[in-house]
Amino acid sequence: MLIGAVADDITGATDLCLMLSREGMRTIQVIGVPTGEVAFSDADAVVVALKSRTIPAAEAVEMSCASARVLLAAGAEQLIFKYCSTFDSTDAGNIGPVAEALQDLTGAPVTIACPSFPAAGRTVYKGHLFVGDRLLSESPLKDHPLTPMRDPDLVRVLQRQCRRPVGLVQAETVAKGSNAVKAAFAEQYAAGRRILIVDTLSDADLRTIGKACAGMKLVTGGSGVAMGLPENFRQSRGFVPPPRKARMAAPAGRAAILAGSCSAATRGQIEAAKAAGRRVLRLDIAAVADGRQTGADLAQWAINTPADLPPLIYSSAGPDELAGIQAQMGRHESGALVERTLADVARRLADAGFSRFLIAGGETSGAIVEALGVKVLLIGPEIDPGVPWTRSISGPDLALALKSGNFGAPDFFLKAWDLLELETADA
Ligand SMILES: Nc1ncnc2c1ncn2[C@@H]1O[C@H](COP(=O)(O)OP(=O)(O)O)[C@@H](O)[C@H]1O
Ligand SMILES: O=C(O)[C@@H](O)C(=O)COP(=O)(O)O
């Protein structure tokens, strides 16, 4: 293993796996803190998917360090801590504490914090995060159900979470190339700064930053930060990329879409599915809370739909409705109820022979994948930037597309299936 990574949610982990695979590394995804039973076989990169984005910071630190220790013991030469390209966290939140704990563990004197993912519209300029052409604080992320992002200045956001001083490497330096960036790392270190936000406007910047990070024990950021890292190992090791396939074999069985993300992108994808005449059913959280709607009801509805097209069950709500629900039921309580119910639906559908799932939302995917007993994922073809098909190779045999709430084109729920080749039942 050359690169070991710890991701704070499962859709983020698949996003990172896709990036590392695209750059030629044989990459596997392990769900949860790895135990001695997981064989890393001949992977160049292993990404551990946690569900640690919104849990108490001390627990996130413990799980992340436990995972990192296993990866380092298995030979990982560089560690990535992957979080969201929109820096999803709260002031009590986990990016700073986990980064600092991993710095202690790896002995990395200085590390970077680079969430940028230009292919998905996330860039950083003068330390400010943009989503498309809006500041983070003016983007739909200001209304995220669990981690509303209201401050676009990442130096400020990260400093509120860190004990160590946070610094900034600006776009003008990145434009000068990797030697200038390396020199800036050293200058910032000499000035006492230990975690550095790095401006990034383009993929070319990501490659410059990646080159400057050769030999850095710990790198933190979004999946974009991994774009330039495999090249360092290719130069030093010459590893051979495996062939990439345009389509992925999927086990025989029915398909379903489960959406627990309230993002603008996911809500648009739900509207597109409705407009295309797909069968859709809404999880009504008030009805679930008082027992008028159950996971069994929702699953039975899906089972009863004709098998030709995947049915969609969604809980997604717009910002005003969500604010009302959260005021009544509590932010975490309502979120957890939705997650539990969708996980129950998924388990029932898997028991009924559904084998292909498209799941929208990071926390949602984490809850569902855990309920399904999925342990290890292989990475298949890219549906849209940041979202690949995956196949479970340990536990149940399933094809899974775990979509970050924010990612994907409006027709994502319609087109994703075209990349699968269905195996016959007796194959
Ligand atoms: N109608 C709803 N009411 C309250 N919470 C909800 C509702 N629908 C979804 N949620 C919660 O919102 C959170 C969305 O987070 P997540 O699944 O990570 O999506 P994203 O990828 O967009 O961040 C989940 O905890 C989910 O259970
Ligand atoms: O970096 C990203 O934007 C994604 O990889 C990510 O972390 C997804 O998180 P969710 O939006 O909660 O799915």
- Model ipTM value: 0.98
Atom 24, ligand 1: residue with shortest CA distance: 335
Q: Which of 255, 248, 283 is nearest to 423 (CA)?
A: 248
Does the beta carbon of 96 lie inside 6 Å of ligand 2?
no
DSSP state of 256: E
Terminal alpha carbon distance of the chain: 32
Does the beta carbon of 386 lie inside 6 Å of ligand 2?
yes
38 has a pLDDT exceeding 80: no
To the nearest 5 percent, what fractions of the chain are helix, strand and coil? 40, 20, 35
Centre of ligand 1 from the C-alpha of residue 250, in Å: 27
Q: Rounded CA gap, 104 and 102, in Å?
A: 5
27, 30, 56, 81, 213 from 379: Cα distances, Å: 7, 11, 30, 19, 25
State the pLDDT at residue 425.
67
Centre of ligand 2 from the C-alpha of residue 271, in Å: 21
Residues of 345-373 as b/e, b for ≥16 C-beta within 10 angstroms?
Answer: bbbbbbeeebbbbbbbbbbbbbbbbbbbe
Centre of ligand 2 from the C-alpha of residue 225, in Å: 14
Pocket test for ligand 1, best of 131, 284, 334, 340 (most atoms within 8 A of CB): 334
Give the atom of ligand 2 at the shortest distance from the alpha carbon of 406.
11
162, 233, 327 from 95: Cα distances, Å: 9, 26, 27
What tokens were used for 245? 């396939």
Q: Which ligand is nearest to the CA of 8?
A: 2
93 has a pLDDT exceeding 90: no
DSSP state of 295: H
For residue 18, the surrounding DSSP H or E stretch is helix 10-22
Centre of ligand 1 from the C-alpha of residue 88, in Å: 13
* Cβ atoms of 105 and 68 closer than 8 Å: yes
- The pairing of beta strand 387-394 with beta strand 399-403: antiparallel
Does the beta carbon of 210 lie inside 6 Å of ligand 2?
no
427 has a pLDDT exceeding 60: no
Q: Rounded CA gap, 341 and 362, in Å?
A: 15
57, 150, 405 from 90: Cα distances, Å: 10, 10, 18
Pocket test for ligand 2, best of 16, 139, 404 (most atoms within 8 A of CB): 404
Average pLDDT, the chain: 95
Pocket test for ligand 1, best of 364, 370, 406 (most atoms within 8 A of CB): 364
Centre of ligand 1 from the C-alpha of residue 40, in Å: 32
Does the beta carbon of 362 lie inside 6 Å of ligand 2?
yes
Instruction: List domains and CATH numbers for the chain.
Output: 3-236 (3.40.50.10840), 248-374+383-422 (3.40.980.20)
409 has a pLDDT exceeding 60: yes
Give the atom of ligand 2 at the shortest distance from the alpha carbon of 363.
12
Q: Which of 363, 329, 360 is nearest to 55 (CA)?
A: 363
355 has a pLDDT exceeding 80: yes
Q: To which residue do tokens 């300029």 refer?
A: 125
State the pLDDT at residue 274.
98
Does the beta carbon of 366 lie inside 6 Å of ligand 2?
no
DSSP state of 394: E
User: Can you give the C-alpha Rg of the chain in angstroms?
Assistant: 21
Centre of ligand 2 from the C-alpha of residue 192, in Å: 31
Give the atom of ligand 2 at the shortest distance from the alpha carbon of 402.
13
Summarised one tens digit per residue, pLDDT across range 135-189 is 999 999 999 888 999 999 999 999 999 999 999 999 999 999 999 999 999 999 9
For residue 323, the surrounding DSSP H or E stretch is helix 319-329
Summarised one tens digit per residue, pLDDT across range 231-278 is 999 999 877 788 788 899 999 999 999 999 999 999 999 999 999 999
What tokens were used for 72? 């380092």
pLDDT band at 126 (very low <50, low <70, confident <90, very high): very high
Q: Which of 388, 409, 133 is nearest to 264 (CA)?
A: 409
**Which residues form the pocket of ligand 1, taking CB atoms under 6 Å from any ligand atom?**
144-146, 260-263, 285, 315-317, 322, 325, 334-335, 338-339, 361-364, 404-405
Centre of ligand 1 from the C-alpha of residue 96, in Å: 23
- Please write down the long-range contacts of 271-277, taking CB distance under 8 Å and 24 or more positions apart: 271/410, 272/410, 272/411, 272/412, 272/413, 272/414, 273/312, 273/413, 273/414, 276/414
Centre of ligand 2 from the C-alpha of residue 116, in Å: 12
Q: Rounded CA gap, 362 and 324, in Å?
A: 22
Does the beta carbon of 223 lie inside 6 Å of ligand 2?
yes
Which whole number is the average pLDDT over 195-202? 98
Provide the whole-model pTM: 0.94
Summarised one tens digit per residue, pLDDT across range 291-345 is 999 999 999 999 999 999 999 999 999 999 999 999 999 999 999 999 999 999 9
DSSP state of 205: H
